[in-house]
Structure 1
C-alpha cells in the first residue's frame, strides 16, 4: 500500500487549466491523495469558483497574490501526509504519475531521495527539458552575456540531454515537484523572499546541502502546458525572474560572485537581450524588455533591492 500524498496547487488566473488539473487528480489515483489544497492568489478570472462547494478540495482564498513560495507553504501546512506534491495548475496527472513517483520514494534504497520529478510532456507530445544544474556564478554570467544561446553546455538548463532515462539531477522543475514532508519541514519550506521563480531551485539546493538528493523519473509522465499564466505578463515575468536570480546569487554565492552576477544582469544583459530580439525580428517584445528592466532597476534602488 503506497503512502498518501498531499497535493498543493497555487492558482492565479489560470482559466480552464485549473479545472483540467483537478479533473486529472480525480481521475487518476485520487485514493492516494490525503488532501488536495488549492491556494488562490487573488485571481480575478473566477478560475477557482468551481471549487467553492467541492468536498474533495480544500480551497484557500488568499485575497491577494502572496507569491508562489509563500502560497505553497500555506497550502503545505494544511496537510499531514508523508509526501507533498506541488503541482502547477497548467499541469495534469496521467495514469501512473503519482503511483510511480511514490513507489520510487518508498523503495528502501531511496531513503535519501528528498525530491522527485517526472517526465513532463507538452501538447505536442514531446518530452520537455525540465531539469537543471545548480547555478554557478559563471553559468549565470554566461547567461547575461548571451553566450548560452550559442553554447548550450554553459546554460543551467539541461537542454542538451534528451531526458530519456532516470537519473539524479540537481533540480527538477516545480510544475511537478514531489517532496518528503520531513525534508520540507526540516528546511522550513520555500524561502518566501523569492516571490516567484527559483524558489524551487533554492529548495532543491538546500535539500542537497542537507544530504537529500533529487531524482528525475523517466518511467512516469505528467502533462505540462508550459508558460502558464506568465505568458500574459511578460514584462513582470522578466522582472521577477531576474530579481530572483540576484536574490539567489546573494544567498548562495560569495559577495564578490554575487556582485558579478548582479552587474552582468543589470548592465550587460539588457543589451544582449535587445540584440537577440533585434536579430530575430521580435520587435514586439522590446517593450516588455524595457518595462521589465524598468521594474528591476526600480527595485534595486529601493530598500528591497539593497536587502538580500
Structure 2
C-alpha cells in the first residue's frame, strides 16, 4: 500500500465526514486507504460515519476501527497505524479539509527529500490565510517568554520563541503541528510508535525530537495546503485564547515533556522561569489596569504531576475534560 491515512474521531462525526469528502478525489483506490479510529465516543459517531461511507460509496478505501477505550491522540493514531501496512502514513485531524493536490504534493516531497522523516503541509484557514504550524522546541526560556507576554522581552529572546513565522518556502523546523503530517514507514519502524503517556499535546513535539535524534529531518512543505479549522476538534486553544482554564491533561503532558527531555531539574527550571515571566506580565497588567492574558489557576496548574511527571497523563483524565482528541 502506498499511503495509509489515519483520522481520529471523538464525537466529531460531521467533521470526519467533511474530511473524507475532501479526500475522495485525492487518493488512489487500491493503493491508498483510510482508517477512522473512534476513541470510544459513546455516542452515534460510528453510525453516522458508517452511514455516510455506505451512502457515498467510500467502503473500498475507508474503514472504521472502534477503540474500546479513549487513550488519547497518540494511542488512537498508534491503533490506526497498526491496522494498516503502508509505505507512508498521513495523520490527519478530523477538523481538516484537504486542498486539491495536497496529498500528491506531500508524496512528491517524500520522494524528493529522502532525508525528511516527517513532512507537514501549510495549514491555513478556509479563506486561505496561513496558520503558524512550525516551531522551535519548548524550553525553559520559552516558558519565560510566553508567561511574560511582553514585546521587548519577546524581541530580545526571539531565537527562543517557540512559534516560528509563516514560511512560504520549505524549511526544517524543530517540530511541526500534527494536525496533518506524513510519516515514513521506516521512521516508525526505527523510532517506534508515538508515546501514549501523553493524552494530548506535546506528543507531536516529543515524536519530532525522537525522529530528529534518529537522524531524520522535519520538513515543512508549504506547496501542499490543508485547511485546519482549529477549535473544531479541540477546545484547548480557544480556552487559552479566552483566558479560561485549560484541561489538566495539557499540563500533565507539559510536565512529562520537560521531565523526559530536560530531566527533573529542567522541569523545575521551566516552572520557575514561567513564574518569573508571569511576575513581569502581572506587574504590567496591574500598572496598566489590563486584563490577565492567562487563566487565574495557571501558576498552580504548571505543577501538575510534578512529583511523578512520567506517569501517563491519560490516567487522570476525566470524561468531563474531554471534547475531542485532536489539536
Q: Structure 1 length as normaliser, TM-score?
A: 0.83
Residue in structure 2 matched with residue 227 of structure 1 by the alignment: 231
Residue in structure 1 matched with residue 6 of structure 2 by the alignment: 8
The separation in 2 between residues aligned to 1:126 and 1:12, in whole angstroms, is 27
Tell me the CA shift for residue 185 of structure 1. Answer: 2.3
- Give the aligned CA root-mean-square deviation in angstroms: 3.1
Are 1:70 and 2:79 an aligned pair? no
* Contact residue 122 and residue 225 of structure 2 kept, 8 A: yes
Distance 1:50 1:273, change over 3 A: farther
Residue in structure 1 matched with residue 140 of structure 2 by the alignment: 137
Are 1:127 and 2:130 an aligned pair? yes
Unaligned runs of 5+ in 2: 54-58, 313-327
Distance 1:129 1:306, change over 3 A: closer
Deviations, residues 85-121 of structure 1 (Å, cap 9, x unaligned): 00000011111111011011112xx222101001111
Deviations, residues 187-240 of structure 1 (Å, cap 9, x unaligned): 111111111001111111111110000111121111111123322884674533
Tell me the CA shift for residue 24 of structure 1. Answer: 0.8
The separation in 2 between residues aligned to 1:306 and 1:6, in whole angstroms, is 31
The SS at the match of 2:234 is helix
Equivalences for residues 260-271 of structure 1 within 5 A: 260-265=269-274
Deviations, residues 252-293 of structure 1 (Å, cap 9, x unaligned): 11432222113445x56777788899966479x85xx53x77
The separation in 1 between residues aligned to 2:26 and 2:285, in whole angstroms, is 42
The separation in 2 between residues aligned to 1:59 and 1:51, in whole angstroms, is 8
* Contact residue 39 and residue 59 of structure 1 kept, 8 A: yes
Residue in structure 2 matched with residue 100 of structure 1 by the alignment: 105
Residue in structure 1 matched with residue 211 of structure 2 by the alignment: 207
Say which of 158, 170, 180 aligns to 2:174: 170
The separation in 2 between residues aligned to 1:91 and 1:46, in whole angstroms, is 21
Q: Per chain length, whose mean CA-contact separation is higher, i.e. which structure has more relative contact order (CA < 8 Å, sep 6+)?
A: 2
* Contact residue 18 and residue 47 of structure 1 kept, 8 A: no
Distance 1:140 1:282, change over 3 A: closer
Number of aligned residues: 295
Distance 1:208 1:139, change over 3 A: same
Unaligned runs of 5+ in 1: none
The separation in 2 between residues aligned to 1:277 and 1:40, in whole angstroms, is 43
* Contact residue 150 and residue 281 of structure 2 kept, 8 A: no
Residue in structure 2 matched with residue 113 of structure 1 by the alignment: 116
* Contact residue 7 and residue 86 of structure 1 kept, 8 A: yes
Tell me the CA shift for residue 297 of structure 1. Answer: 5.3
Residue in structure 1 matched with residue 15 of structure 2 by the alignment: 17
* Contact residue 10 and residue 38 of structure 1 kept, 8 A: yes
